[in-house]
Amino acid sequence: MRRRDFVVGALGAGLASSGGFDPFVWNASTAKAATARGRVPYGAAVRTDLLDTEFDYKAAIVDRCQLVVGEGGLKWFDLRPSQEQFVFDQPDRLIDFAEKNGMQMRGHTLAWYGAMPEWTKTIASAAEAERELVHHITTVVARYQGRIPSWDVVNEAIAEYPGDGTPIRDSIWQERLGKRYIELAFRTVSAIDPTAQLVINDYNIENPTSQCRDRRTALLDLLRDLKDRDVPVHAVGIQGHLPGDLEIDKDGLSRFIEEVKGMELEVLVTELDVIDNKLPALEYDRDQMVAARARDFLSAISDVTRPSAILTWGITDRYTWVPIWFKRDDGRANRPLPLDAACRPKALMKVINEFTRAAE
Ligand code: 9MR
């Protein structure tokens, strides 16, 4: 079997070829892929450790998702407790779970400033940084080569406030290598798995604030630079951690997507949820507002292009990162995700179904 006939499927439905990047084909051997044909694939970030014990959680994922991504597991912090070690337990389990259930797994993430183990602070020179980054990417991507159809190669490369004049976010990679770490990461993944969709993933680009405007501009500048130098980047992942109390800048976001499409790049939503700490207490009202925010966001994207996937960052309100940073003052639980804490669908699930259903 030729390698490019093997994987992939879900993420690639409808992808056009660009710059040596082959369009994906569907893996028709899985029932899920077959039923999902014609849909925008939906997926969720998963906490792998819960799959063995939380049966309703597991069932929700199996029933509703075509894609999964580890909420952790492939981050440096999880994979690399020491410079010598690679601990693949979590991603090995998750990809096994995905494949057994006819789903595919996205890879998150290879180069990020966050979730770095302490020892990486000892990376002292550019040569050492290049060696470590290439060794890491080569080892990880080679292990899952042909099985992970889409990678968040570089995560959150854009500075929090790029308007200050430094568009690229600080990280060990940026400090040691400058912004060429981005190109290095993409080229290294592409050399190991030329069939994978290579994604640059970022957040805070969808609101009508000067911060979001500056971040859109900085991301487009970076993408133009990468495309000009034929760096194999294929898609922009829009995380979509939407602050519930801020409007979506529908025009600004649609214009951004148009620019991205103009560079022959795909778009996908990688980490959707709605941060509801400042929304009203009443659950019914809050769920409607969460759903409306997500609808504005998804329609600003879908009005311009068909996203190659939509993933939420978790599936049930029972397990979400949101309260770590955005606990509600009234002590009520956050409700950022499509299913409530008992895994019952909320208004947000309906919205996701609207934007992922088969084209008519
Ligand atoms: O949800 C994730 C949380 O459990 C981890 O502690 C944290 C650090 O690894 O990362 C969270 O996920 C982040 C993702 O990797 C990148 N975009 C923002 C997500 C939410 O903070």
Closest Cα to atom 6 of ligand 1: 321
Q: Which residues contact 354 (CB under 8 A, 6 or more apart)?
A: 295
**Cis (ω within 30 of 0) for the bond into 312?**
no
Residue 282 — left, alpha, or beta (φ > 0 → left; ψ -120 to 50 → alpha)?
A: beta
From the list 156, 183, 206, 266, the catalytic residue is 156
Atom 9, ligand 1: residue with shortest CA distance: 115
Ligand 1 center from residue 321 Cα (angstroms): 7
Ramachandran region of residue 9, left (φ > 0), alpha (ψ -120 to 50) or beta?
left
- Ligand 1 neighbours (beta carbon < 6 A): 71-72, 75, 114-115, 155, 239, 271, 321
**Ligand 1 atom with least separation from CA of 45:** 1
258 included as an active-site residue:
no
Q: Which two tokens stand for residue 103?
A: 């789903």
Pocket mutation for ligand 1, best pick of 49, 71, 215, 241 (most atoms within 8 Å of C-beta): 71
Residue nearest to atom 8 of ligand 1 (CA): 115
- Positive/negative CA dihedral, 308, 38, 40, 70: negative
Closest residue (by CA) to atom 1 of ligand 1? Answer: 321
CA–centroid distance, residue 229 to ligand 1 (Å): 31
Cβ-contact 193, 185 below 8 angstroms = no
Q: Crossing angle for the helix pair 210-228 and 250-262, nearest 10 degrees?
A: 0
Single pTM value for the model: 0.92
Task: Render the burial of 50-88: b for 16+ CB within 10 Å, e for the rest.
Answer: ebeebeebbebbbebbbbbbbbbbbbbebbbeeeeeeeb
Segment 236-290, tens digit of pLDDT: 999 999 999 999 999 999 999 999 999 999 999 999 999 999 999 999 999 999 9
Q: How far apart are CA 281 and CA 307, in angstroms?
A: 32
Q: Which two tokens stand for residue 153?
A: 């190669």
CATH numbers and ranges of domains, the chain: 41-356 (3.20.20.80)
At residue 321, does pLDDT exceed 80? yes
- Known catalytic residue at 271: yes
Residue 2 banded pLDDT, cuts 50, 70, 90: very low
Mean pLDDT of 36-48: 90
**Which pLDDT value is given to residue 231?**
98
**Both tokens of residue 196?**
């994978």
